[in-house]
Each structure stands twice: as structure tokens, then as C-alpha cells.
């Protein structure tokens, strides 16, 4: 039984209902997704992130190697800093999307465990004369996401020191009573609320959950995948592997901010520069508000004038602002024309409209 199985067995003892996340047992909910959603919006919730993986890059040439390989800047990251970055194919499409954290002797790329090997395979062939090593460190780390307006207060109370206000991706070491280190709190606002990915030794993940749940004020609540999916959708947070994949590039995905056009060449740079100069990509990831109260399945068609013009990538019934919200990839020319949109949901055709993200 692996560490993730041990964690899920523990989560079942505190009320988890079984689900699955990319082939791994996961907590779908803890009895009431709406209540779990409210805990994150009002106080603090704990979200299982044990499928988060890590790729470590170390060696004297690690910064210069990554600077030439990745879409965003690397060399200016001091220990404790971090930012979103990506490895792109020559056609400008995503190979991997991840947070890159800087440590004194290494970088750590945080991404789903299922994508860690893809990142390694994408980088390894380019290591020729550089003094750098790339390794999968996923087995070393476990993660729990602490989210909500009182997340910082919870971690400060347990660690005995306040957490500084830092941008997403920045991180700091943390001490937790009874949990041997190393432990790192990584700022991340996936849910639209203040939040931290708490990285702990994987074998200490269950102990960390126990410690957090015993805290009385603020009292954290366990949050399952169903509530998390609604939270991240409401916040306008697309996920790699769901909304974003190898058929999209950063501009199409609305993630131009993770690309630096000031630095030198990197794989896919020329294609992105041409797309940027034209002013629009051929397709775009957008938000939709859809009539009714039953979300279409992932992969359902988006229609305009009776023809398919895109596909739903994620859809949920929102608690706030209410109704069904979705991400979809749609041809940009259709968006510009302002044509009425519809979503196919089984045998139903539902009216849809473009919606700004975060959804309000």
C-alpha cells in the first residue's frame, strides 16, 4: 500500500466518500460539498494534493540550462522565490505547465505526478555538456492545500511565526510540532482565496493532516474534490490535464503572462512571437455560463449556427455566482463575431454565453 493509499484510508476515517483523481483513490466529498465550499470561502479548508509531484533540477548550470529551455525567466529567481513556467514544443504547444521554485542548491518543478515523467523526457535530451541533473522527486514530497481567508492564521499559529505576504509561487520553510522537516509553505491561490500548498515529507502526510485537523481556532475543515472543482472554476483557474494540454499554447490558454518575450530563444518562442504579432490565436480557452442546472460532460460540443465550434473542457454547477459555469476551447473567429452559442449536453441543447473569469 503506497503513501497515497494510506492517506485515503485515513481520509475515509474522517468521512471521505470515495472518488478518483487520474487513477488514484481520492476524496470526492466529506458529506456536503456546499458546506466544504463555504468553509474555504469563509474560514479555512484542507484539500488533498497528494497527487502533486516534483521534478528536481540541480547542478552548477541548472539556471542557465532552464533559462534556455523554459518559456518564462529563471535566472532572476532567488531562493524562496517561484513562478509559473512551462516547457513548450517547437510548435508552441504545452509539454508541461508547472510552478518552478528556487532553492539554494536546486530548482523544484511542482506538477501532477502523472506529468513528471513527461517533463523529464522533454528536458533530458538537451542536457549535453551542461552540469545539471534532472530527477523525479515525487516520492519524497506530499502536499495538502490549506485554503481560505484564515489559512495564514492557521499556519502561523501552528508554526509560531507569521507568514509574510508574498506573491504566488514564493515559499518559505516552516516548522510544525511533531512533524520532522523539511517542510515548505508555497503560496498558491488556486481557489481564489488566500492559500498555501504545504509540502511535507510524503511519509508524514497523514501526520500533517491529523495535526491540522486538531487545531481549534481557526478550525479547518476537510474539503473534497467536488468542492475544490467548483472553487477553482469559480476562481477562473484552468488545470493542466483538464482544460489545458498539448493541443494548446500559452496565448490560446490565456496564459501569456507565463511567457517572457524579453529573454533569448526557447523552444516554441518563434511560433508564439508570430501569434502575438498577429494579435489573436486560432482558438481560445474561454469561460461560459450555461443555462440549466446540469453541467455538460467534459468534451461536449459547443455549437454556433448549428455547427460545432469548440469543446467543453470542464463544467460545474456553481455555488456562487450560481448556475452552470464552464471552460471551453472555441475558435477565435466565432468569439469575435459574437454569434449565439449553445452547449450540447446529452440529447439537450443549452443556451450559453461568454463569461469573464473569475466568474461573478
DSSP string, 292-318: SSSPPPTT-EEEETTEEEEEEEEEEE-
* 160-198 pLDDT, tens digit each: 999 888 899 999 999 999 999 899 999 999 999 999 999
Which residues neighbour 129 within 8 Å (Cβ) at sequence distance 6 or greater?
none
Could you tell me if 254 and 193 are in contact, meaning their C-beta atoms sit under 8 angstroms apart?
A: no
State mean pLDDT over 294-321: 96
The structural domains of the chain, with segments of one domain joined by +, span 1-278, 282-355
Residue 316's pLDDT band (cuts 50, 70, 90): very high
pLDDT at 25: 86
- Point out which residues pair with 192 in neighbouring strands: none
Q: Tell whether the model's pLDDT for residue 217 goes beyond 80.
A: yes
Residue 2's pLDDT band (cuts 50, 70, 90): very low
Nearest-CA neighbor of 333 among 307, 301, 312, 356? 307
Tally helices (H) and strands (E) across the chain: 9, 19
Cα–Cα distance for residue pair 255/250, rounded to 1 Å: 5
Q: Tell whether the model's pLDDT for residue 3 goes beyond 70.
A: no
* 58-106 pLDDT, tens digit each: 999 999 999 999 999 999 999 999 999 999 999 999 999 999 999 999 9
Segment holding 343, helix H or strand E: strand 341-345
pLDDT at 260: 97
Residue 145 to residues 60, 83, 175, 210, 255, Cα–Cα distance (Å):
32, 17, 16, 14, 23
Q: Which of the listed CATH numbers 3.40.50.720, 2.40.30.110, 2.60.120.860, 3.40.50.2000 matches domain 282-355?
A: 2.40.30.110
pLDDT at 109: 98
Tell me the pLDDT of the chain averaged across its residues.
95
Nearest-CA neighbor of 311 among 325, 292, 334, 327? 327
Helix (H, G, I), strand (E, B) or coil at 178: coil
* 232-259 pLDDT, tens digit each: 999 999 999 999 999 999 999 999 999 9
pLDDT at 24: 82
Query: 1-278 belongs to which CATH class?
Result: alpha beta
pTM metric for this prediction: 0.95
Q: Tell whether the model's pLDDT for residue 1 goes beyond 60.
A: no
* 24-64 pLDDT, tens digit each: 889 999 999 999 999 999 999 999 999 999 999 999 999 99
Residue 279's pLDDT band (cuts 50, 70, 90): confident
pLDDT at 63: 98
Amino acid at each position: 500500500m503506497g503513501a497515497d493509499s494510506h492517506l485515503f484510508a485515513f481520509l475515509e476515517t474522517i468521512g471521505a466518500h470515495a472518488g478518483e483523481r487520474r487513477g488514484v483513490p481520492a476524496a470526492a466529498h466529506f458529506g456536503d460539498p456546499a458546506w466544504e465550499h463555504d468553509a474555504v470561502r469563509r474560514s479555512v479548508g484542507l484539500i488533498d494534493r497528494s497527487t502533486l509531484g516534483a521534478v528536481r533540477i540541480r547542478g552548477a548550470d541548472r539556471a542557465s540550462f532552464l533559462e534556455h529551455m523554459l518559456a518564462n525567466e529563471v535566472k532572476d529567481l532567488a531562493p524562496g522565490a517561484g513562478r509559473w513556467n512551462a516547457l513548450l514544443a517547437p510548435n508552441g504547444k504545452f509539454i508541461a505547465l508547472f510552478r518552478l521554485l528556487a532553492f539554494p542548491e536546486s530548482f523544484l518543478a511542482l506538477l501532477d505526478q502523472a506529468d513528471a515523467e513527461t517533463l523529464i523526457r522533454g528536458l533530458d535530451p538537451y542536457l549535453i555538456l551542461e552540469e545539471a541533473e534532472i530527477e523525479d522527486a515525487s516520492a519524497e514530497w506530499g502536499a495538502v492545500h490549506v485554503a481560505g481567508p484564515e489559512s495564514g492564521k492557521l499556519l502561523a499559529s501552528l508554526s509560531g511565526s507569521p507568514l509574510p505576504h508574498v506573491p504566488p509561487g514564493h515559499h518559505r520553510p516552516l516548522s510544525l510540532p511533531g512533524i520532522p522537516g523539511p517542510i515548505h509553505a508555497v503560496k498558491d491561490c488556486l481557489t481564489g482565496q488566500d492559500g498555501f500548498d504545504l509540502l511535507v515529507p510524503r511519509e508524514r502526510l497523514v501526520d500533517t493532516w491529523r495535526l491540522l485537523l486538531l487545531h481549534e481556532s481557526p478550525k479547518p475543515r476537510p474539503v473534497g474534490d467536488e468542492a475544490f472543482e467548483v472553487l477553482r472554476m469559480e476562481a477562473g483557474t484552468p488545470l493542466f490535464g483538464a482544460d489545458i494540454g498539448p493541443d494548446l499554447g500559452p496565448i490560446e490558454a490565456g496564459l501569456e503572462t507565463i511567457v517572457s518575450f524579453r529573454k533569448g530563444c526557447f523552444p516554441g518562442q518563434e511560433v508564439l512571437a508570430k501569434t502575438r504579432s498577429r494579435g489573436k490565436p486560432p482558438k481560445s480557452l474561454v469561460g461560459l455560463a450555461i443555462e440549466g442546472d446540469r453541467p455538460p460532460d467534459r468534451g461536449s460540443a459547443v455549437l454556433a449556427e448549428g455547427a460545432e465550434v469548440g469543446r467543453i473542457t470542464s463544467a460545474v454547477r456553481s455555488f456562487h455566482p450560481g448556475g452552470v459555469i464552464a471552460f471551453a476551447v472555441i475558435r477565435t473567429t466565432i468569439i469575435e463575431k459574437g454569434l449565439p452559442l449553445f452547449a450540447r449536453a446529452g440529447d439537450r441543447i443549452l443556451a450559453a454565453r461568454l463569461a469573464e473569469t473569475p466568474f461573478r
